[in-house]
Amino acid sequence: MFAAVYYNNKDVRFEELPMPEIGEEEILLKVIASGICGSDVLEWYRLPKAPRVLGHEASGIVDQVGKKVVNVKVGDRVFISHHVPCNTCIHCQKGHHTACETLHNTNYYPGGFAQYIKIPKINVRLGTYKLPDNISYEEGTFIEPLACVARGQRLANLKKDDTVLIIGSGISGILHTQLAKFKGVKKIIAADINQHRMELSVQFGADYALNADDTLPQKIKAINEGHLADQVIVCTGAIPAVTLSSDCVERGGTILFFAVPDPTTKIPLPINQFWRNEITIQTSYGAAPNDLQEALTILATKKLNITDMITHRLPLRETQEGFQLMTKPNKSLKIILEPNNSNLEQSAFGAN
Q: Is residue 8 part of a domain?
A: yes
Q: What is the CA radius of gyration of the chain?
A: 21
| pLDDT value at residue 267 | 86
Q: What is the pTM of this model?
A: 0.94
Q: What CATH number did the domain enclosing 34 receive?
A: 3.90.180.10
| pLDDT value at residue 268 | 86
Residues 329 and 273 reside in one and the same domain: no
Residues 234 and 175 reside in one and the same domain: yes
Residues 278 and 293 reside in one and the same domain: no
Q: Which of 83, 92, 28 is nearest to 292 (CA)?
A: 83
Dmax (CA) for the chain in angstroms is 67
Distance of CA 62 to the CA centre of its chain: 23
| pLDDT value at residue 315 | 97
Q: How many domains are contained in the chain?
A: 2
| pLDDT value at residue 125 | 96
Q: Which of 168, 160, 149, 207 is nearest to 184 (CA)?
A: 160
Domain that holds residue 121: 2-146+287-349
Inter-CA distances, 131 with 75, 122, 128, 250, 297, Å: 12, 19, 10, 40, 10
Q: Are strands 187-192 and 163-167 parallel, antiparallel or unpaired?
A: parallel
Domain ends where: 283, 299, 314? 283
Q: Which residues of the chain are modeled with pLDDT < 70? A: 342-352
